[in-house]
Structure 1
Amino acid sequence: MDKQQILIKKAQECIDGIKEEVSLNHWRLQYHISAPAGWINDPNGFCYFNGQYHLFYQHHPYSPQWGPMHWGHVRSQDLVFWEHLPIALAPSEEYDRDGCFSGSAIEKDGKLYLMYTGNRWTGENHDTDLEQSQCLAVSEDGGVFAKLKENPVIANPPAGDIHPNHCRDPKVWKHQNSYYAVLGSKTMGNEGQVLLYRSDDLIHWDFVNVMARGEGNFGYMWECPDFFHLGGQDVLVMSPQGMTPEGNLYHNLHQSGYVLGQLNYETGTFSHQEFRMLDYGFDFYAPQTMIDEQGRRILIAWMDMWESKMPTQQYQWAGAMTLPRLVTLKDNQLFCTPVPELEKLREEEVSYSTLTIQGVQSLAEVSGDCIELQMEVDAKDALVFGLKLRVDDRAKQETVLAYDKNEKVLMLDRNQSGAGPGGIRKATVDLIDNRLKLHIFIDKSSIEIFVNDGEKVMTARVYPSKEAVNIYFFSDGPLNIVQLKKWNLKKSITG
């Protein structure tokens, strides 16, 4: 057994020793991916290999706090029911001794390759005292991975206006007969940028160019880049650190979004349009996409935010993934909707139609802490209307989703949501023929809200009491619920 497999066995024993206790926590998510125990952040290596979906993730198995990064691993036949597999990567070599940081996956010659960032601390300051290189691991079966003897395959950042210590999170893809990878980076003057590399064999890489660089309020570092072609456009996804708030935008510590444009593969330059957000809620970072056997572009992100209070840490776990989202291009912007396979989770449908709401009221059987809601409302003459979710009247807990017709703003308020952080997030939303469509997924400690067929999404972690299961509808004037459906959802994560 090599050094990495010994470290994986040790980490796995730690997880197995506490996962049963962790599973009893009342905030434990039922149909969202999280580690059996310990900390997780960025999704990594999201791919379709040998007829199955694989998702890896940044993982610290020894505590619910961030620490030396391993790669956790889950697998699914359908993007709905996931099983935990043994840890895939552990920091075992000199080049990755302090962490196997984020990266991606690609199939080559029937084998699955993981490309990741090896991290080494060179001093006490983890922002300035670090060395980052790009490395490969390979697997015949998609389960057990061996690191290549050629590692690191990209040892140092290129010369020029490129910070020597911050170069990470490779996303790799194939175009024509060559492999390409984008890396998150920043300039010497702390402006975010993305670097483009090319290879014939995944092992020998040539720097092509600085593919894109931020100007103005575009952050001091671009993390976790992703790149793909969709609907005639090239899409660059990234997570800029350090953007300052503008109106209702950029109020999280770090943001995630995309730009549309065209990549010149010869020069390595990317001409693009303005930056757009991928999620307007509180907890969404480091999104990564893959293309599946149906040709669909699927996205998953970390459903948390750096430096947020995480009440689950007292129960020996922290971090989760969003639901898989189908990404499509429409009207020159990305739309994100829950993958249709999630309908497999549905049980016990409750349905209402042509129902008038005024004031505050509940509906029979429309409640719960592990449910799906699908609704369309005609605003009529109402100016402010919405829902109160995860309500515990006795504890005065509620998470409020409210639409203001005059401001054309949808507001998500978690100031009374329970044990976690508070705050308000807003998204500009236009009614369509005076109607609003909402598709809401509630899990034990999360809420995901898809607006107007995926035009906007708002995601939040919330930590209410066990008793917070009530739902109230409210409106300051007569409001027509055209259609409302509610389902209880099954548990889908095992192992």
Structure 2
Amino acid sequence: MAQHKTHSEQLARANQAVTDTKHAQKDASYRLHYHFMAPTGWLNDPNGLIQYNGIYHLFYQFNPYSYDWGPMHWGHATSTDLVHWKHQPVALAPSEPYEYDEKKSEMGCFSGSAVMNGDIMTLFYTGHLEGHDPKEVQAIATSTDGIHFTKHPANPIINGSPEGISDEFRDPKVWKHGELWYMVVGTAVGGAGAIALYKSSNLIDWEYAGIAAKSDGTQGNMWECPDLFPLGDKYVLITSPMNTDRGKSTVMVGSMDYDKGIFIPESQREIDYGIDFYAAQTFKDAKGRRILIAWMDFPFTEFPSKTDKWSGAMTIPRELSLGKDGYVRSQPVPELTALRDKHTHFDKQILSEDETYPLYTDQLLQHSYELTCKWTLPKHKDHGKAGLHLRRSTDGSERITVSYDLATNEIIVDTTHAGELSHKAVNKARLLHKNDEVTFHIFVDTCSVEVFVNDGEAVLSTRIYPDLASNGIALYTEGIEAATACMDIWNLKSAEIS
């Protein structure tokens, strides 16, 4: 029988794997320029987002041994500005009987969160071991320097799901309210997605307080990566529901009754309507902002980057706010303006009906840029489209189309013609309000597009893999005359992740 390896031994092994393979990624195709990526291997959910002593910490689900999903570790990076990140040693590696079996691939330290308890940084995570009873438990690890973590001797602090709740029981999110700590865990009840609520006075001993929220039958059969937090004068619940056609990143706005231990939803939308957005997590920073980062990919899809032996990236950081209409808004953090380089401004452009107006040919623009564009639309029109073609080939056959459809009041991001390697999808987001102006704020990177509309009223994020030579931009109309009031484009510098 193989000798059991300690946590420190498993960490050393994982860090050596990173050292041995990260050099191969330097010139890999489609590596992003300003989005966070793991130094090598596989990345998925963001974990443990927190700021302490001026340092932002980003932990994430990580497989240092392969570009495929596998035994989950916690990768780690730090930043002073949410833009430039420094890779740190692997924070957590599977090593304990409730999370490690060398004969199984479906195991590891699954997703979770982080809190500061005085000067002690505490990570909460799910220990997962397929075939074990219980399959999923909740555990903690602590650190005094924010870099090196020790698993707690009391683990697992929650040894499996309560009676009547699914054994799909993972992704603890912890926060403090008053004198008590609270935790929500993603799970299911009777085949419907739900979150289990716990409370504690010391982060070690947890009391089950019941089901805080549950699917109405149309919101998925399991809720992953729950995040419950105050925003403005409301509470917000974000979940990643499984096996539903209604969306992948549900955001509910409502109220939290701590006495009864329940969240009461009042409205529901998607926090991001793009196909490549999952496992969003938020945290409150020292400025009082609620910052969100998500995995900019989606489970069960193929990743063309595997050809170069890497997989996965994070979205740009976004600041959340609550609109006067009671819905959540999401906008890029202003720190991203530090990446702006060469700037081009376009004055008003008037397009006739069914016109395509090229602004850039594919030789004149880099892959990574930020673009703002305000469209003025004809009044009293109930049909037609106006928008842009991005990453456009010289002949226009390859392109990503971002448009507003007057007939449906929808923003559309169409990757049907985005290249042979791209997932063919038509992403749609219906706007909350209809007016005669639509503003796009778009971030394009080597293999991604993130579209923010009308100050974050709707957001759509998707991965794309067009030919690297396809780099043109064109304005276009379909069935209407329209005008861009103004347009600005900035080339974006590399974030120089080290």
> Structure 1 residue aligned with 2:45, among 34, 42, 47?
42
Provide the C-alpha distance between the structure 1 equivalents of 2:275 and 2:147, rounded to a whole number of angstroms.
33
Task: Please tell me whether the aligned partners of residues 368 and 470 of structure 1 are also in contact (alpha carbons under 8 angstroms).
Answer: no
Task: Please tell me whether the aligned partners of residues 274 and 462 of structure 2 are also in contact (alpha carbons under 8 angstroms).
Answer: yes
Provide the C-alpha distance between the structure 1 equivalents of 2:286 and 2:432, rounded to a whole number of angstroms.
35
2:14 partner SS = helix
Q: Flag structure 2 segments of 5+ consecutive residues without an equivalent.
A: 101-106
CA displacement, residues 166-202 of structure 1 (integer Å, 9 cap, x when unaligned): 1110000011111000000111x31111000000010
Alignment of 1:14-413 (within 5 A): 14-97=17-100, 98-122=107-131, 131-159=135-163, 161-163=164-166, 165-187=167-189, 189-245=190-246, 250=247, 255-330=248-323, 331-358=325-352, 359-364=355-360, 367-380=365-378, 383-393=384-394, 396-413=397-414
Provide the C-alpha distance between the structure 2 equivalents of 1:298 and 1:415, rounded to a whole number of angstroms.
31
Task: Please tell me whether the aligned partners of residues 272 and 461 of structure 2 are also in contact (alpha carbons under 8 angstroms).
Answer: yes
Provide the C-alpha distance between the structure 2 equivalents of 1:420 and 1:158, rounded to a whole number of angstroms.
42
The one-letter code sitting in structure 1 at the alignment partner of 2:159 is A
Larger displacement relative to structure 2 (9-18 or 22-31): 9-18
Q: Residue 229 of structure 1: CA displacement?
A: 0.6
TM norm structure 1: 0.93
Task: Please tell me whether the aligned partners of residues 32 and 493 of structure 1 are also in contact (alpha carbons under 8 angstroms).
Answer: no
Q: Residue 40 of structure 1: CA displacement?
A: 0.8
The one-letter code sitting in structure 1 at the alignment partner of 2:490 is W
Moved over 6 A (4+): none
The one-letter code sitting in structure 2 at the alignment partner of 1:288 is Q
Task: Please tell me whether the aligned partners of residues 432 and 457 of structure 2 are also in contact (alpha carbons under 8 angstroms).
Answer: no
Q: Residue 393 of structure 1: CA displacement?
A: 3.2
Larger displacement relative to structure 2 (361-370 or 110-119): 361-370
Provide the C-alpha distance between the structure 2 equivalents of 1:318 and 1:141, rounded to a whole number of angstroms.
29
2:438 partner SS = strand
Q: Residue 380 of structure 1: CA displacement?
A: 3.0
Provide the C-alpha distance between the structure 1 equivalents of 2:304 and 2:265, rounded to a whole number of angstroms.
40
Q: Residue 404 of structure 1: CA displacement?
A: 1.6
Q: Residue 140 of structure 1: CA displacement?
A: 0.6
The one-letter code sitting in structure 2 at the alignment partner of 1:203 is I
2:153 partner SS = coil
The one-letter code sitting in structure 2 at the alignment partner of 1:403 is Y
Provide the C-alpha distance between the structure 2 equivalents of 1:325 and 1:493, rounded to a whole number of angstroms.
20
Provide the C-alpha distance between the structure 2 equivalents of 1:73 and 1:308, rounded to a whole number of angstroms.
24
Provide the C-alpha distance between the structure 2 equivalents of 1:20 and 1:379, rounded to a whole number of angstroms.
50
Q: Flag structure 1 segments of 5+ consecutive residues without an equivalent.
A: 124-128
Provide the C-alpha distance between the structure 1 equivalents of 2:435 and 2:168, rounded to a whole number of angstroms.
48
Provide the C-alpha distance between the structure 2 equivalents of 1:224 and 1:483, rounded to a whole number of angstroms.
39
**Percent identity for Structure 1 against Structure 2:** 38
Q: Residue 395 of structure 1: CA displacement?
A: 8.8
Q: Residue 394 of structure 1: CA displacement?
A: 5.7
Larger displacement relative to structure 2 (400-409 or 312-321): 400-409
Q: Residue 480 of structure 1: CA displacement?
A: 1.6
CA displacement, residues 48-69 of structure 1 (integer Å, 9 cap, x when unaligned): 0121100100001111110000
Provide the C-alpha distance between the structure 1 equivalents of 2:434 and 2:265, rounded to a whole number of angstroms.
29
Q: Which residue of 2 aligns with 1:420?
A: 422
Task: Please tell me whether the aligned partners of residues 186 and 192 of structure 1 are also in contact (alpha carbons under 8 angstroms).
Answer: yes
Q: CA distance change for structure 1 residues 427 and 441 in 2, over 3 Å: closer, same or farther?
A: same
2:68 partner SS = coil
Task: Please tell me whether the aligned partners of residues 134 and 160 of structure 2 are also in contact (alpha carbons under 8 angstroms).
Answer: no
Q: CA RMSD in A?
A: 1.7
Larger displacement relative to structure 2 (349-358 or 309-318): 349-358
The one-letter code sitting in structure 1 at the alignment partner of 2:171 is D
Q: Which residue of 1 aligns with 2:15?
A: 12
Provide the C-alpha distance between the structure 1 equivalents of 2:262 and 2:328, rounded to a whole number of angstroms.
22
Q: Residue 244 of structure 1: CA displacement?
A: 2.8
Provide the C-alpha distance between the structure 1 equivalents of 2:435 and 2:136, rounded to a whole number of angstroms.
52
The one-letter code sitting in structure 2 at the alignment partner of 1:416 is H
Aligned positions, number: 478
Task: Please tell me whether the aligned partners of residues 195 and 210 of structure 1 are also in contact (alpha carbons under 8 angstroms).
Answer: yes
Q: Residue 431 of structure 1: CA displacement?
A: 6.8
Provide the C-alpha distance between the structure 2 equivalents of 1:308 and 1:395, rounded to a whole number of angstroms.
27
Q: Residue 130 of structure 1: CA displacement?
A: 6.2
Provide the C-alpha distance between the structure 1 equivalents of 2:65 and 2:223, rounded to a whole number of angstroms.
28
Task: Please tell me whether the aligned partners of residues 142 and 151 of structure 2 are also in contact (alpha carbons under 8 angstroms).
Answer: yes
Task: Please tell me whether the aligned partners of residues 36 and 497 of structure 2 are also in contact (alpha carbons under 8 angstroms).
Answer: no
Larger displacement relative to structure 2 (150-159 or 11-20): 11-20
Provide the C-alpha distance between the structure 2 equivalents of 1:364 and 1:310, rounded to a whole number of angstroms.
29
Q: CA distance change for structure 1 residues 292 and 230 in 2, over 3 Å: closer, same or farther?
A: same
2:359 partner SS = coil
Task: Please tell me whether the aligned partners of residues 411 and 431 of structure 2 are also in contact (alpha carbons under 8 angstroms).
Answer: yes
Larger displacement relative to structure 2 (482-491 or 469-478): 469-478
